[in-house]
Copies of this chain bind each other. A is one copy, B any other.
Amino acid sequence: MSEATREQVLEVAGRARQAAAELAPLPRRAKDAALNAIADALITRAPEILKANESDVARAREGGTAEAMIDRLSLTEQRVAAIAEAVRQVAALPDPVGESVRGYTLPNGLELRQVRVPLGVVGIIYEGRPNVTVDAAALTLKSGNAVLLRGSSSAYDSNTALVDVMRDALAGTQLPADSVQLVPGTSRQSVKHLMRARGLVDVLIPRGGAALINSVVEESTVPVIETGVGNCAVYVDASADVDLAVDILINAKTQRPSVCNAAETVLVHADIAEAFLPVALRALRDENVTVHGDARVRSYGDDVVPATEEDYSTEYLSLDIAAAVVDSLEEAVAHIRRYGSGHTEAIVTTSQGAAKRFVALVDSAAVMVNASTRFTDGEEFGFGAEIGISTQKLHARGPMGLPELTSTKYVVTGEGHLRGV
């Protein structure tokens, strides 16, 4: 763990601020050229990236890191090629900057336009995979922002190599190299300095587990966009088609259990419990899912383990699911309000009225009607890419694409207009 002083972190943030000012007015062409230069450089310099990654992997192995984590950390030539390709895809997306969000002429003749502008300096605090280093940089640059990257210390050598490659690539373009910087230091202390860099950093986006996100939310004076924690529920309405409900539940729970849009809870209307639960429990068993159920759920399966309060609040991210029988749609909504994280909830129903009520009453970033919770995702939503999934209500909610990395500015044009009252 290497320390960094407050001055060192603020100096880097100050350079990012300066870079952001230069970057903001650049046209799309300049940003796309820079992204393509980064993609080229990642391919050309893959050997040194892989070498740096090997040292992270070796350190992780020595430290006894689990193989699943080591797989997330590891880069290969193919993975680097995929990272470069993702950068090219971001370059191909439309530029959100300059888009008119509203525009009209006021009664007094003033012309008003609200246009998208970059946020400025975006700080990303993340764990896990080194590909996030490049993905996050590509999205922030494309939206005209400078980025400060603070990855996991376990990927420090990989991240350093990746950022070096990106900065060198930028040096041959119109974009300032300081548009992409690693936050110095690998200790908790350097994150704290970043979180207090109000005035230099415009927004922090923590990506990772609940502990990381809570600590940023608690301590940051820089505005934060919360991402990622997903305690998602599937509600099987009285009127549901049983087969369709089972398919959606299995897909939502098992198609990729380790991600935030996987289902963690199933709520079953009492009127359909007898038709649905035996089939559903068998299907879950076939997929090796452990069901944590209330008394009514347990009456349908001997292998259902008793659910605690804790179970209903837990984001398992594993082959576990909490289950309960509810007497009404409203009771399902109340359960979600009490235990959910406001990420994604799904209703399976054939009733138009029930769908409408569920959509109106559930207060989550995404509400699925007869579709798997797994669809809450920037690419699936057609955004081309995402920087994360916001579970807060301010600024952005749900998957965040390029427009969510912008702010707006009002441009008002007159001919000597003066205010009378």
**Interface residue ranges, A against B (CB under 8 Å):** 21, 24-25, 104, 106-107, 110, 112, 114, 117, 119-120, 198, 202-203, 217-218, 221, 223-225, 241, 244, 247-248, 251, 255, 337, 355, 359-361, 363-372, 374-376, 380-382, 392-395, 397-399, 407-419
List the 3 shortest-distance A-B pairs measured between CB atoms, nearest first. A371-B414, A393-B407, A374-B419
For A366, the chain B residues whose CB sits under 8 A away are: 409-412
Return the chain B residue nearest A403 by Cβ: B102
Return the chain B residue nearest A419 by Cβ: B374
Contact A410 B337 (CB under 8 A): no
Complex Cα gap A364–B372 (Å): 42
Complex Cα gap A408–B393 (Å): 7
Contact B368 A414 (CB under 8 A): yes
Return the chain B residue nearest A117 by Cβ: B363
The listed residue (B218, B225, B244, B417) touching A221 by CB distance below 8 A is B218
Minimum CB–CB distance for A308 against chain B, Å: 21
The listed residue (B364, B365, B381, B416) touching A248 by CB distance below 8 A is B416
Contact A410 B363 (CB under 8 A): no
Contact B370 A247 (CB under 8 A): no
Contact A393 B119 (CB under 8 A): yes
Minimum CB–CB distance for A145 against chain B, Å: 10
For A241, the chain B residues whose CB sits under 8 A away are: 416
Complex Cα gap A398–B412 (Å): 12
Known: A372-B419, A381-B106. A363 touches B120 (CB 8 A): yes
For A244, the chain B residues whose CB sits under 8 A away are: 416
For A369, the chain B residues whose CB sits under 8 A away are: 411-414
Complex Cα gap A26–B415 (Å): 44
For A398, the chain B residues whose CB sits under 8 A away are: 114, 408-410
The contact sample of 18 A-B pairs, CB cut-off 8 A, is A24-B363, A104-B382, A112-B381, A114-B398, A198-B217, A203-B394, A223-B223, A223-B224, A359-B411, A363-B409, A366-B409, A366-B412, A367-B411, A372-B417, A375-B414, A394-B394, A397-B408, A398-B409
Contact A365 B410 (CB under 8 A): yes
- Among A114, A361, A381, max chain B CB count under 10 A is at A381
Minimum CB–CB distance for A69 against chain B, Å: 22
